[in-house]
Amino acid sequence: MSNKLTTALLASCALGLLSGAAMAQDFDYGKFDGYTLKVKLIGGTQYEKLYTRIPEWEALTGAKVEIVSSKNHFDLDREIKQDIASGSITWCVGSNHTSFAPQYGDLYVDLKELIPQSELDKYVPGTLASAMVDGRLVQLPRVTDVSNLYYRKSLYEDPARQAAYKEKFGTDLAPPQTFDELKQQVIFFADPPNLYGTAFAGKDEGMSGRFMEILRANGGDIFDENWKPIFNSQAGVDAVNWFKDIYDAKAVPAGTINYTWDDIGAAMAAGQLAVDLDWPGFAGFYSDPNASKIASELGFATAPKGTAGIRGGWSGSHSFSVTQQCDNKPAAASFAVFLTNDESEMMEAQAGNLPTRTATYPAVKEWFKANDKAFMVDMFTAWEASLAEARTPPLIAQWIEVSNVIWPNVQAAIVGQKPVQQALDDAVAEATVIMQDAGLLQ
Amino acid sequence: MTRFFRSPQATPYLLLLPAIAVILAVVLVPLLVSLWTSFTGYNLTKPATLFQWVGLRNYQRVLASSDFWWAFGRTVLFITIALNLELLLGLGLALLVNKITWGQRTLRTIMMFPMMFSPILVGFQFKYLFNDAVGLVNNALFDLGLIREPIAWLVDPILANFAIIFAEVWMSTSVFAILLLAGLMALPKEPLEAARVDGCNPWQVFRHITLPFLMPFIYIAMTIRSLDVARAYDMVRIMTNGGPAGRTELLWTLMTRTGYQNSQMGMANAMGYVSIILSIAFTVFYYRKLTQARTFMGGAQ
């Protein structure tokens, strides 16, 4: 009884911040006096604020947390694979991500066995579904990642540009509804080297993801239902041509083929791009007048649709997972729930991240209104709207490997080193070998 | 057997035993395991695949892969250009610093600064410098009126490789400079003075006395650097990750992607064993040169 009382007291302290948005916690975080929970967490400024809540969990449960590793996701991934290879899984909770999760096999437990359904029901259903691998809930989502449009209102509201656009295309200049329209606007706005239409992540999984997004919006897909790679379809060719057209028109910086998220963020914040299709985490950065030149004119719109009339939003979540080898799984599950509970999600959402709990959306909109950041309400509305149609990358262990044959070939097509169809055919041939070796494709 | 271990002849072996055991554990065993895995379909995240024998399949694929051979050739070129540039610049720096009498220690310390940075940070620094839109290099060129359109440093096939070599030279030239400076400081003064008395000009002194004396130091520096040049991996990973379209792909980026990202450790080890020829060739070459240079120094000629 006193445990529950302490829980309730601590929870209400934390909820004090939320001014009335508090809800009774019915999840029992348990008592693990004297236990030390070993965790491997993703590091980096935007991720570490949440870890300031760890002492609260320690006070609540009597356990101690030892962070045995804190690295960026790629290094963490490498380390976890080395742990699997050497059979030294001595830790309990690890940071995870939708794209990485399928690779780890049975390293992580099915959290449905550790967390009551009533608690799981509090998460956004689509987000929770994307955290499953082979029907097992191997991760508890922490923040969701789906791309939508940031645009500069000053450009869209400029009368001269509005008139020129109307004259040229016969339609009003407004945030784009389709990828074709986006391409048209990107080329229209471009005035290099002072202003580019946009920039895209041109290498690594970012490039594969961007390609997959447009491929799916065009009605295509990476694999058919028998895991046969089929992205060299017409939808795939159209998707690559979308990138190639804006690249050839010099509507994107020539270096975009080598950009990752940090470069794109820097270019957008420096006022060099007209629109940016990007993850929610940049909202805070772009709207900060000290860091961004476009803070006063930031607009938000839901991602455009492809030729098939659908959105192909590439979605994934950062998450926490619990290892099979963990010597105290209830403590590990309690920790994972605590770091994704209503208060934790509120903390993530206030920083501009897309939360994974349904109740957080209305709560954080209220909070933004009350804190003179009404424009952030628009952002959450635009991003929330795209969640329903968002899809994860194929949840198979081979995805990263397949992605590593897609992006260099797409790059080759964009810079004109290979014809588009040949680049995609080459990638499909390599992907087919990967799927055959894995035994998924006969 | 017991008698042997108690005899004086056994003492050196017994004393070396711990070292031998450590070397076996940290060098030989991993070497044998990696050689074994190169004949298996070993997947890092599936320990059971360690015993999935695939024979020469990995080697056949590596030898038939044009991507691999392009990366191989590019790596040889990268090492050759980078090491020679580093040598020339390092030698120049060492000669200059050696002339200084006041503040030399401070300068030596400053010279070592680039070595203190982690290659990842060097990668981020140069990726930013060479960024086509917000990078310092392009901005400087614009302001000086030298260009009208931004240069895509990290995209163009030649410029991208240039940018990477530039970053590598920046990071590692000081290794050469420090080693060669140590050589210069150990140089006996008498032959130099004798040569000057005999009327040699500075170039002749450098060419016939300083340089031959420095050669062993140069070859040691070359050997060390040709082996640890793979440290540049982190830098390339950040700057281009082998792209765009494989234009800057080096053996290290290719192997790391295969082994760790794709988890195909068996395949990556096969690549490793093929490319080990490269390391052996460079090491043998420089050791031969080193022996020759030492014979020369010993007064044989």
Interface of B with A in 26-65 (CB under 8 A): 41, 44-47
Band of pLDDT at residue A304, cut at 50, 70 and 90: very high
Cα angle A42-A48-A54, degrees, rounded to a multiple of 5: 100
One-letter amino acid for residue A76 of the chain: L
* Superfamily the domain A148-313+398-437 falls into: Periplasmic binding protein-like II (3.40.190.10)
Closest residue on chain A to B258 (Cα) = A401
Instruction: Indicate whether this complex's ipTM tops 0.85.
Output: no
List C-alpha distances in Å: A423 to A417, A427, B142: 9, 6, 35
Closest residue on chain A to B264 (Cα) = A401
Q: What pLDDT score was predicted for residue A234?
A: 96
Is A192 in Cβ contact with B260 (below 8 Å)? no
The token pair that represents A411 in the structure block: 């790059």
Is A404 in Cβ contact with B41 (below 8 Å)? no
Gap between the Cα atoms of A261 and B215, Å rounded: 47
Among B150, B243, B246, select the one facing A254 at the smallest CB separation: B150
Q: Does the pLDDT at position A437 exceed 90? A: no
Any CB–CB contact under 8 A between A196 and chain B? yes
Among B44, B133, B240, select the one facing A81 at the smallest CB separation: B44
Helix (H, G, I), strand (E, B) or coil at B97: helix
Any CB–CB contact under 8 A between A424 and chain B? no
Among A253, A414, A437, select the one facing B133 at the smallest CB separation: A253
Domain A2-145+315-387 and domain A148-313+398-437 have a common topology: yes
Neighbours of B76 (CB within 10 A): 16
Cβ neighbours of B65 in A, within 8 Å:
none
Is A84 in Cβ contact with B47 (below 8 Å)? yes
Band of pLDDT at residue A162, cut at 50, 70 and 90: very high
Mean of the per-residue pLDDT values of chain A: 89
Q: What pLDDT score was predicted for residue A383?
A: 86
Is B260 in Cβ contact with A411 (below 8 Å)? no
Cβ neighbours of A292 in B, within 8 Å:
none
Gap between the Cα atoms of B194 and B187, Å rounded: 14
In order of their start, the domains of chain B are: 65-300 (1.10.3720.10)
Among A74, A87, A263, select the one facing B47 at the smallest CB separation: A87
How remote is the C-alpha of A408 from its chain's centroid?
22
Q: Which pairs count as long-range contacts for B132-135, CB under 8 Å and 24+ apart, including other chains?
A: B132/A253, B132/A254, B132/A255, B133/A193, B133/A196, B133/A199, B133/A253, B133/A255, B133/A263, B133/A267, B133/A270, B133/A272, B134/A263, B134/A266, B134/A267, B134/A270, B134/A272
Any CB–CB contact under 8 A between A85 and chain B? yes
Domain A2-145+315-387: CATH class, spelled out: alpha beta
Q: Where are the domains of chain A?
A: 2-145+315-387, 148-313+398-437
B254 CA: distance to closest CA in chain A (Å): 10
Q: What is the mean pLDDT of residues A101-124?
A: 93
Q: Does the pLDDT at position A15 exceed 60? A: no
Q: Does the pLDDT at position A207 exceed 50? A: yes
B217 CA: distance to closest CA in chain A (Å): 37
Closest residue on chain A to B134 (Cα) = A267
Is B142 in Cβ contact with A192 (below 8 Å)? no
Q: Check residue B299 and report its DSSP letter.
A: I
Band of pLDDT at residue A279, cut at 50, 70 and 90: confident
Enumerate residues 6+ apart whose C-beta is below 8 A from A273: A152, A195, A196, A197, A198, A199, A264, A267
Gap between the Cα atoms of A48 and A50, Å rounded: 5
Lowest mean pLDDT among A73-82, A289-298, A398-407: A73-82
Q: What pLDDT score was predicted for residue A10?
A: 46
- Of the candidates B235, B222, B224, the one whose C-alpha atom is nearest the C-alpha of residue B87 is B222
Any CB–CB contact under 8 A between A4 and chain B? no
Lowest mean pLDDT among A20-24, A62-66, A390-394, A422-426: A20-24
Is B265 in Cβ contact with A193 (below 8 Å)? no
Pairing state of beta strands A275-278 and A148-152?
Answer: antiparallel
Band of pLDDT at residue A25, cut at 50, 70 and 90: low
Is B262 in Cβ contact with A415 (below 8 Å)? no
Among B47, B132, B246, select the one facing A408 at the smallest CB separation: B246
Q: What is the mean pLDDT of residues A290-312?
A: 92
B72 CA: distance to closest CA in chain A (Å): 17
Q: Average pLDDT per run of 10 along chain B, which is 301 residues long?
A: 79 90 91 92 85 90 91 91 94 91 87 87 92 87 88 90 94 91 90 89 89 89 84 87 87 90 90 84 83 66 44
Any CB–CB contact under 8 A between A439 and chain B? no
Cβ neighbours of B160 in A, within 8 Å:
258
Any CB–CB contact under 8 A between B158 and chain A? no
Cβ neighbours of A270 in B, within 8 Å:
133-134
Any CB–CB contact under 8 A between A401 and chain B? yes
- Of the candidates B244, B223, B140, the one whose C-alpha atom is nearest the C-alpha of residue A257 is B244
Mutate to test the interface with B, among A258, A324, A437, A440 (most CBs of B within 10 A): A258
Neighbours of B231 (CB within 10 A): 16
Q: What pLDDT score was predicted for residue B19?
A: 92
Gap between the Cα atoms of B296 and A29, Å rounded: 76
Among A199, A266, A400, select the one facing B261 at the smallest CB separation: A400
Q: What pLDDT score was predicted for residue A314?
A: 84
Cβ neighbours of B240 in A, within 8 Å:
203, 258
Band of pLDDT at residue A2, cut at 50, 70 and 90: very low
Closest residue on chain B to A414 (Cα) = B245
Gap between the Cα atoms of A24 and A313, Å rounded: 34
Q: Does the pLDDT at position A7 exceed 80? A: no
Residue A131: phi, psi to the nearest 5? Answer: -90, 0
